[in-house]
Amino acid sequence: MKQYKLCVVGVGAVGKEILRILKERNFPIASLKVLARSAREMELDGFKYQVESISHDSFKGIEIALFAGTEGEKGASVTYAPTAVKEGAVVIDNGADFRLKDDVPLVVTEVNAADVKNNKGIISNPNCSTIQMVVALSPIYKLSKIKRIIASTYQAASGAGQGACDELYSQTAEFLDGKDLTIKALSKRIAFNVIPQIGGFTELDYTSEEWKLVHETHKILHDNDIKISATAIRVPVKTGHSESIYIETERPLSVEEVREVLNNQPGVKVVDDIKGGRYPMPYQSEGTDDVFVGRIRKDPFVPEGLWLWVVADNLRKGAALNAVQIAEALIKDD
């Protein structure tokens, strides 16, 4: 088997998870560079990595560059991805900078892996909440075209970075000790609270996170006609995003045929035993690779309407795992 010269850019929560998953899945690596703003030695799961300081010279000879997802004008992706492409690498980017560009494939491997072949040097990893939603909905879409989606996301603190996760812990301790809560990483308190805002408010008073679900789903499913409306909420959970999803399909579908098609979908695990009190919960998804689906039920008033409850580890399937799966799809025919 051919082996590849890789680099991982960024060693935050997602970057570390990418390193873990590359090892777990035995990705064929000839050489591996780990790049960040500053050089240091880093230990992860008992293995030591030499982190190099990133520069435009870091990408010579690199074939696949996995960017862990710093966004914006001064982010690593905007700054260094074009250089990596010029040096001959294919960039797999976890940030939002390239997702909606016409010449950049936006890929969830269980849904549209074939799109990796259309890359011009950059492939984008979708937003975490989009990934788990389209993995769950794509097999239903094949049964009957989806006309409408209403989604409410309940997103873990880790989706906002390690600082938000640390703040969940520290605020919880402060609250239980009767102290004033320290608010830094998030705009509002997260302990014993929910925040009905992720991202800045934009068009029609929806947030940027909510619009990501709309535009990214349209692009991945190659269908701009789906009517999608979303509400994104930050909740006091460490890891694991949950989504309450309502769909309307062109023809009525039974719960039984939806459950069957989901059971046959790679990357999906149906946990839907209401008599036994079994349904997906975020803490159970932590450290796993599947998208969990439960609470599958018909709308009692709309024959084409269905509800689902969808849960996944936002750091793994919602970010790092999907990035590595894109790399696997990229080399599949090599």
230 shares a domain with 97: no
**Residue 160 token pair:** 């906002």
Single pTM value for the model: 0.95
196 shares a domain with 282: yes
Per-residue pLDDT of the chain (334 residues; tens, 9 = 90+): 899 999 999 998 899 999 999 999 999 999 999 999 999 999 999 999 999 999 999 999 999 999 997 654 457 899 999 999 999 999 999 999 999 999 999 999 999 999 999 999 999 999 999 999 999 999 999 999 999 999 999 999 999 988 999 999 999 999 999 999 999 999 999 999 999 999 999 999 999 999 999 999 999 999 999 999 999 999 999 999 999 999 999 999 999 999 999 999 999 999 999 999 999 999 999 999 999 999 999 999 999 999 999 999 999 999 999 999 999 999 997 7
CATH number at residue 240: 3.30.360.10
Active-site positions read: 128, 241
Q: Which DSSP helix (H) or strand (E) runs through 66? A: strand 64-67
149 shares a domain with 8: no
Per-residue pLDDT tens over the stretch 238-280:
999 999 999 999 999 999 999 999 999 999 999 999 999 999 9
DSSP letter for 86, please. H
Task: Give all strands of the β-sheet with 241-249 in edge-to-edge order.
Answer: 227-234, 146-155, 241-249, 305-312, 291-298, 268-270
152 shares a domain with 88: no
Average pLDDT over the chain reads 95
Per-residue pLDDT tens over the stretch 64-115:
999 997 654 457 899 999 999 999 999 999 999 999 999 999 999 999 999 9
161 shares a domain with 295: yes
Asked if 34 and 19 count as a contact pair (C-beta separation under 8 A), the reply is: yes
Domain that holds residue 143: 130-314
Contacts of residue 4, Cβ cutoff 8 Å, sequence gap at least 6: 27, 28, 29, 30, 63, 64, 331
Query: Which residues are 269's β-sheet partners?
Result: 292
Neighbours of 289 (CB within 10 A): 17
106 shares a domain with 23: yes
173 shares a domain with 102: no
Give the model's pLDDT for residue 334.
Answer: 72
30 shares a domain with 156: no
210 shares a domain with 150: yes
295 shares a domain with 204: yes
325 shares a domain with 283: no
Cα 214 versus chain centre, distance: 15
213 shares a domain with 152: yes
Q: In total, how many domains does the chain have? A: 2
CATH number at residue 11: 3.40.50.720
Asked if 34 and 22 count as a contact pair (C-beta separation under 8 A), the reply is: no
N residues, the chain: 334
